[in-house]
Amino acid sequence: MNHRLFAILCFFWIATTHAAVCCTIPVFRFALDRWEADRFKLVIPADVAAKSEILDLLRPLRAGGKANLDITTGRSGQATRAELFSPQNGMRPVWAGELSAASLTALLDSPGRVALMNHILEGDSVTWVIVDTGTPADDAEVERITKRLNFLKLAAALPVQDPNDPDSQLGPGPELKLEFRVMRLRLDDLAEKLLIDMLAGPEGKVDTSKPFAAAVFGRGRVLGAWQLSQLDETGLEDACMFLIGRCSCRVKNENPGWDLLMNVDWVKTLEKTAEQRKTGIKQSTAETKPQLPETAQVAAGAPKSDRVTRWMLCGSFLLLSVALLMLRRK
């Protein structure tokens, strides 16, 4: 092997080693700590927006509401009903209808979204939301998925965390742990219609008239949605392993997925959760309509020594020195 080729390989090894040790935070936690939820847009007809009762209704939202929602007024005569658009699709509304106190409340929140928030704040790695009709066939599919997730919790492990690594510092929030959860919604649940449509994706990734599953993580972000009949063990494992693996790409828009509309101030809520962990006061959970999740907590592997990381870095500097000497001699 000539000197120049050896030097190039040394530089390549150093670069890949640095990438491997630069961040050990799992994708699901990196998203919770640092990825702000994309904002939905609610467009209100001009004549509706001018009504005093609507002005009073929207004033708290315009003055710094918790939801990832922007409110705009349509041009006069262009729209006859309010429309909600997802961040990824500004042409096809995810909801349209008459704006009232009741409809606005349903837009901002639902029992299913409260349940998702609670699961996230409890530290779950990913919540698999299964939307089905409750038939025996659906029950069998849910049991299959649950068994596979329980197996993955036993077989998988989170990346080892180095508390002294400045690139891998966790933000305020729940304890970092490996936990998968299953939550079921009924296809005919009118209170969750908007959530079901958002889970299906901005482009209608799945047919919402048939059972499907979606993986939710971070600040209410959906990794993807699959028809229940097409979600095999390989797809389930790939999604889970991606979310619990190291975050190799920190740019949110370069990662797959889309966001849900949730009425949560994540910064303040995560700080409150961290404070409650310190004081020993458990985060209170609201009553939710969805069925209780079918999960079994499995402890993640014990942290390993950071000697491996130190040896890798020392080896990198040694190889760098050798490579530079060879290049100078060349």
SS3 214: strand
Please check whether residue 223 is in contact with residue 242, taking contact to mean a CB–CB distance below 8 angstroms.
yes
Pure H helices in 70-210 = 101-108, 111-121, 136-155, 193-200
DSSP string, 230-297: G--HHHHHHHHHHHHSB-----GGGSS-EEPP----HHHHHHHHHHHHHHTPPPP----SSPPP----
Res. 164 pLDDT band, cuts 50 70 90: confident
- pLDDT of res. 313: 42
* pLDDT, mean of residues 164-193: 93
- pLDDT of res. 297: 37
Residue 215: φ, ψ to 5°: -100, 120
Q: Does the structure show a pLDDT above 60 at 131? A: yes
Q: What are the tens digits of pLDDT across the range 277-300?
A: 888 766 444 444 434 433 333 333
Amino acid at 31: A
Q: Does the structure show a pLDDT above 50 at 43? A: yes
According to DSSP, the β-strands at 258-259 and 82-85 are unpaired
- pLDDT of res. 22: 54
- pLDDT of res. 143: 96
Q: Does the structure show a pLDDT above 90 at 306? A: no
- pLDDT of res. 6: 41
CA atoms within 13 A on the CB side of 23: 14
Q: Does the structure show a pLDDT above 70 at 186? A: yes
- The percent of residues above 90 in pLDDT, for the chain, comes to 60
Query: Which positions ≥6 away from 39 have C-beta within 8 Å?
Result: 68, 69, 70, 87
- pLDDT of res. 218: 96
CA atoms within 13 A on the CB side of 62: 12
Res. 162 pLDDT band, cuts 50 70 90: confident
- pLDDT of res. 225: 96
Token digits of residue 117: 């928030």
Q: Does the structure show a pLDDT above 50 at 84? A: yes
Least confident of 73-77, 131-135, 152-156, 237-241: 73-77
* pLDDT, mean of residues 41-53: 91
Q: Does the structure show a pLDDT above 90 at 126? A: yes
* pLDDT, mean of residues 307-320: 44
The chain-wide mean pLDDT, for the chain, equals 82
